[in-house]
């Protein structure tokens, strides 16, 4: 019975056991786990290499180091032109252990030397040198100046073919030898070598070498780390080591940038790229465009392109006040200063008497409108230029009358439309460009000054991350008053979360005033593109360029130059994705090709568009526009949905993408 029971139990338990394991096992066997997916199909470990999947790997350990090293001595290895993994293990060691070892070693060496002397032999120079090192190290360790470490350094090369791997290994060995580093192949330990150079942090080889703090510090390989931040936008490629230059301007001590380069060197291209990239990261972009180059890009990005001329419906009153009260700032005083600057450009040379009269007249003009330094009064409607004119006439002084006469043509003549009306425009679009191209040359600096002042007044009203771009800044910088105004913006921009970009081809004009120099020193990012021989000396003096850098800047191609940020500078190449290039280029041939393609595109899509007139323009942009759309909605696109399909042909905005029409300016 006993046995019976047992037999029964066994017979019962067996199927139960099978039942409890087999379903899971069977299921597991039939399933693909994550490891199955990521594991290589095979691994072959040879004496001198390891093959994982289709790729071959070879690991070297460093057996000997040079006696003296300079900072960043490992950089030729870091910049080696073949893919490799480098791993470095650092083990701190207690100084007291090392000291006793050192004492023993020193005693041994002293004994060897004295026995050599006793035997009448020449003292071995190597031992002599080692002994001196040991003395020095003992002293520094004892004083606590140095600490002691052990370090291991492994390099794994990899390649798709064994022949290529062999060739790269030879090159690596010769590169290392030129640095007086002695590499050895980790023969028969390829697997351990491989494992030591993958980012697991395990040292499976454990071949170490003693190092003191100084040597260890100079081994640290990442010298260009300051030009690669973990956030921000990409500016270009670091030509020295192929790494990316990624920067967040807003994280620097100020967010300003200057770009210098001769005409055609790629300044506007660079600025457009940066504007697009910053825009995608949520910055608002405001551009002053003296040459009319930014229309295509602003329209494609759903932005607003404002053409500022005497006859345009858009009016800007330079007397506008921000209506904001900022502790420690006299809003009216600053405004009067800026108006004074503007009027000096408008009216021409002013002597001291004129200056004093103008100041009094400006204060009086505001006062007549009930506006004083009291912030509460500053929300009232501002005066107009003609109010100033009347005040000047009313002063009944020959000097003030003369000023009034000089101002007359801007109030009564054809130019009255320029700045003698209340503002009827506000910056609502997150991408707004102001063009002053249509203005005559001599009026352009005045228009730029007015627009810049208007933007500055608006910008201070609400705090937002903004980029203000002043292309062809030399238009303004040649006038001392405008230069001083731009400098004021550069200096105070940070407080308002504003990044100012100024670009100029005329370096001498820009830097001839102290304001220009001050703008430069208030810009954390400085980019030098190709320079003309006439400018290079000025540039190299200001930037302390070496002879090599000077020559580089004269011979580089379009879109290449030097990128300065903080203390470091590197050779940069500005690179654009094809869709970015289409938007940023000003090359007439490329623009024409784009227009032709666009015409083709429009004729191909026209019937379909007519049949679906209610298409959401925001959708339409994102479908055909390869630029990832920023998460915000463009007010322009929302406002006039039907315009996408009824857009008239516009020679400049004709690019690959259907663009929403420019809206009428918002009138408040
Ligand atoms: N990084 C670049 N890659 C390709 N083309 C470029 C680059 N930079 C500029 N270009 C081209 O060079 C020409 C001149 O550039 P642009 O930015 O207008 O010069 P600048 O503003 O300095 O006078 C344009 O046709 C532009 O498309
Ligand atoms: Mg340009």
pLDDT digits 0-9 by tens, 422-443: 888 888 899 999 999 888 888 8
Q: Between 168 and 70, where is the model more confident?
A: 168
pLDDT of residue 547: 78
Q: Between 615 and 528, where is the model more confident?
A: 528
Closest ligand to residue 263's CA: 1
Closest ligand to residue 475's CA: 2
pLDDT of residue 649: 39
- CA 536–ligand 1 middle distance (angstroms): 20
Residue pair 300/654 in contact (Cβ under 8 Å)? The answer is no
Q: Residue 345: name the closest of 418, 294, 287, 295 by CA.
A: 418
pLDDT of residue 531: 95
Local structure of residue 260 (DSSP, 8 states):
E
Ion ligand 2 — residues with CB < 5 Å: 268
How far apart are the C-alpha atoms of 177 and 232, rounded to whole Å? 39
How far apart are the C-alpha atoms of 425 and 112, rounded to whole Å? 90
pLDDT of residue 145: 81
Question: 166-220, pLDDT tens digit by residue?
Answer: 999 999 999 999 988 999 999 999 999 999 999 999 999 999 988 888 778 777 7
- CA 83–ligand 2 middle distance (angstroms): 38
- CA 586–ligand 2 middle distance (angstroms): 9
pLDDT, averaged across the chain = 82
Q: Is the pLDDT of residue 225 over 50?
A: no
| Cβ-based neighbours of 478, under 8 Å, separated by 6 or more | 445, 506, 509
- CA 132–ligand 2 middle distance (angstroms): 62
- Largest separation between any pair of C-alpha atoms in the chain: 137
Burial of 119 (0-12, 13-18, 19+ CB in 10 A): exposed
Atom from ligand 1 closest to the CA of residue 585: 27
Question: 589-617, pLDDT tens digit by residue?
Answer: 887 887 787 778 777 776 554 444 443 44
Atom from ligand 1 closest to the CA of residue 271: 17
Ligand 1, atom 12, lies closest to the CA of 266
pLDDT of residue 71: 65
Q: Is the pLDDT of residue 330 over 50?
A: yes
DSSP, collapsed to helix, strand or coil, labels residue 668 as coil
Torsion angle of C-alpha atoms 134, 137, 139, 145, degrees rounded to 10: 180
How far apart are the C-alpha atoms of 668 and 666, rounded to whole Å? 6
Query: Which CA distances in Å does 551 have to 253, 259, 267, 573?
Result: 30, 18, 19, 16
What angle, 0 to 180 degrees and rounded to 10, lies between the N-to-C axes of helices 331-347 and 480-492?
Answer: 150
- CA 567–ligand 2 middle distance (angstroms): 27
Give the distance from CA 546 to its chain's centroid.
Answer: 24
Q: Which residues sit opposite 233 in a β-bridge?
A: 247
Q: Residue 307: name the closest of 335, 327, 320, 288 by CA.
A: 288
How far apart are the C-alpha atoms of 500 and 256, rounded to whole Å? 5
Q: Is the pLDDT of residue 19 over 70?
A: no
489 — pLDDT class (breaks 50, 70, 90) = very high
Residue with tokens 């000396």: 537
Q: Is the pLDDT of residue 579 over 50?
A: yes
Helix (H) or strand (E) holding 322: none
Q: Is the pLDDT of residue 7 over 60?
A: no
Q: Which residues sit opposite 209 in a β-bridge?
A: 151
Q: Is the pLDDT of residue 655 over 70?
A: no
- Could you tell me the pTM of the whole model? 0.63
Ligand 1, atom 20, lies closest to the CA of 264
Count of C-beta atoms within a 10 Å radius of residue 602: 15
- CA 486–ligand 2 middle distance (angstroms): 19
Among the ranges given (244-248, 343-347, 523-527, 630-634), the one the predictor scored with the smallest mean pLDDT: 630-634
| Cβ-based neighbours of 534, under 8 Å, separated by 6 or more | 508
- CA 270–ligand 1 middle distance (angstroms): 8
- CA 155–ligand 1 middle distance (angstroms): 41
Q: Between 623 and 403, where is the model more confident?
A: 403
Q: Between 157 and 142, where is the model more confident?
A: 157
pLDDT of residue 21: 67
637 — pLDDT class (breaks 50, 70, 90) = very low
Residue pair 342/457 in contact (Cβ under 8 Å)? The answer is no
Count of C-beta atoms within a 10 Å radius of residue 185: 17
Ligand 1, atom 16, lies closest to the CA of 266
Question: 437-472, pLDDT tens digit by residue?
Answer: 888 888 888 889 989 999 998 888 888 999 999 999
The percent of residues above 70 in pLDDT, for the chain, comes to 86
20 — pLDDT class (breaks 50, 70, 90) = low
Q: Residue 500: name the closest of 535, 479, 526 by CA.
A: 526
Ligand 1, atom 9, lies closest to the CA of 266
Ligand 1, atom 15, lies closest to the CA of 266
Ligand 1 pocket mutation pick from 563, 575, 585 by most atoms within 8 angstroms of CB: 585
Among the ranges given (26-35, 264-273, 340-349), the one the predictor scored with the smallest mean pLDDT: 26-35
Atom from ligand 1 closest to the CA of residue 265: 22
- Mean predicted confidence (pLDDT) in 537-545: 89
Question: 503-520, pLDDT tens digit by residue?
Answer: 999 888 888 889 999 999
Rg (CA), the chain: 36
Strand 55-64, strand 304-307: pairing: unpaired
pLDDT of residue 233: 93
Lining residues, ligand 1, CB within 6 Å: 261, 263-269, 558-559, 574, 576, 585-587
Query: Which CA distances in Å does 323 have to 332, 388, 486, 493?
Result: 10, 20, 21, 18
SS (H, E, C) 157-187: EEECCHHHHHHHHHHHHHHHHHCCCEEEECC
Strand segments, DSSP code E, in 222-321 are 233-238, 244-247, 257-260, 284-289, 304-307
pLDDT of residue 222: 55
DSSP, collapsed to helix, strand or coil, labels residue 93 as strand
pLDDT of residue 223: 53
């Amino acid at each position: 019975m006993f046995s019976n029971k047992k037999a029964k139990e066994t017979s019962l338990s067996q199927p139960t056991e099978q039942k409890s394991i087999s379903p899971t096992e069977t299921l597991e066997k039939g399933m693909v786990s994550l490891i199955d997916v990521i594991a290589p199909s095979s691994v072959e470990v040879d004496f001198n290499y390891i093959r994982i999947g289709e790729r071959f790997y070879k690991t070297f350990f460093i057996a000997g180091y040079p006696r003296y090293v300079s900072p960043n001595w490992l950089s030729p290895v870091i910049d080696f032109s073949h893919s490799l993994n480098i791993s470095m293990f650092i083990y701190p060691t207690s100084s007291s252990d090392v000291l006793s070892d050192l004492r023993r070693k020193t005693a041994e060496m002293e004994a060897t030397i004295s026995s050599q002397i006793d035997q009448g032999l020449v003292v071995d120079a190597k031992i002599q040198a080692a002994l001196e090192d040991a003395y020095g190290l003992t002293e520094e360790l004892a004083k606590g100046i140095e600490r002691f470490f052990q370090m291991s350094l492994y390099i794994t090369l990899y390649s798709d073919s064994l022949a290529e791997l062999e060739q790269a290994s030879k090159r690596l060995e010769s590169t290392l030898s030129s640095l007086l580093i002695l590499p050895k192949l980790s023969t028969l330990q390829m697997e351990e070598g491989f494992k030591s150079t993958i980012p697991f942090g395990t040292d499976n080889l454990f071949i170490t070498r003693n190092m003191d703090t100084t040597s260890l510090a100079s081994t640290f390989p990442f010298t260009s780390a300051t030009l690669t931040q973990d956030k921000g936008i990409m500016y270009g490629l670091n030509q020295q080591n192929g790494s990316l230059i990624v920067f967040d301007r807003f994280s620097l001590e100020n967010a300003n940038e200057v770009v210098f380069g001769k005409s055609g060197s790629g300044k506007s291209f660079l600025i457009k790229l940066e504007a697009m990239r910053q825009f995608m990261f949520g910055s608002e972009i405001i551009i002053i465009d003296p040459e009319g180059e930014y229309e295509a890009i602003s329209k494609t990005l759903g932005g607003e392109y404002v053409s500022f001329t005497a006859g345009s419906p858009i009016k800007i009153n330079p007397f506008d006040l921000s209506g904001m009260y900022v502790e420690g700032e006299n809003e009216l005083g600053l405004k009067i200063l800026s108006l004074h600057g503007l009027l000096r450009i408008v009216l021409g040379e002013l002597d001291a008497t004129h200056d004093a009269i103008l100041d009094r007249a400006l204060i009086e003009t505001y006062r007549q409108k009930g506006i004083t330094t009291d912030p509460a009064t500053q929300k009232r409607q501002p005066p107009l230029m003609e109010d100033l004119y009347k005040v000047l006439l009313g002063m009944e002084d020959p000097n003030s009358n003369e000023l009034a006469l000089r101002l007359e043509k801007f109030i009564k003549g054809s130019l009255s439309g320029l700045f003698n009306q209340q503002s009827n425009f506000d910056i609502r679009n997150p991408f707004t460009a102001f063009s002053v191209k249509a203005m005559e040359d001599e009026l352009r600096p005045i228009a730029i000054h007015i627009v810049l002042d208007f933007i500055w007044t608006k910008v201070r009203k609400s705090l937002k991350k903004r980029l203000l771009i002043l292309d062809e800044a030399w238009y303004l910088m040649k006038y001392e008053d405008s230069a001083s105004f731009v400098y004021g913006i550069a200096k105070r921009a940070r407080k308002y979360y504003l990044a100012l970009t100024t670009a100029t081809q005329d370096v001498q004009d820009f830097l001839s005033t102290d304001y220009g120099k001050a703008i430069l020193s208030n810009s954390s990012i400085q980019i030098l593109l190709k320079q003309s021989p006439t400018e290079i000396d000025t540039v190299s003096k200001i930037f302390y360029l070496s002879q090599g850098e000077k020559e580089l800047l004269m011979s580089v191609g379009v879109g290449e130059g030097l990128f300065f940020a903080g203390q470091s500078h590197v050779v940069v190449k500005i690179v654009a994705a094809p869709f970015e290039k289409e938007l940023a280029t000003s090359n007439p041939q490329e623009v024409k090709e784009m227009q032709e393609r666009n015409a083709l595109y429009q004729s191909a899509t026209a019937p379909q568009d007519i049949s679906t007139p209610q298409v959401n323009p925001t959708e339409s942009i994102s479908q055909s526009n390869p630029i990832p759309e920023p998460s915000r909605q463009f007010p322009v696109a929302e406002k006039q949905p039907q315009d996408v399909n009824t857009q008239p042909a516009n020679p400049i905005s004709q690019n690959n993408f259907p663009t929403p029409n420019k809206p009428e300016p918002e009138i408040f």
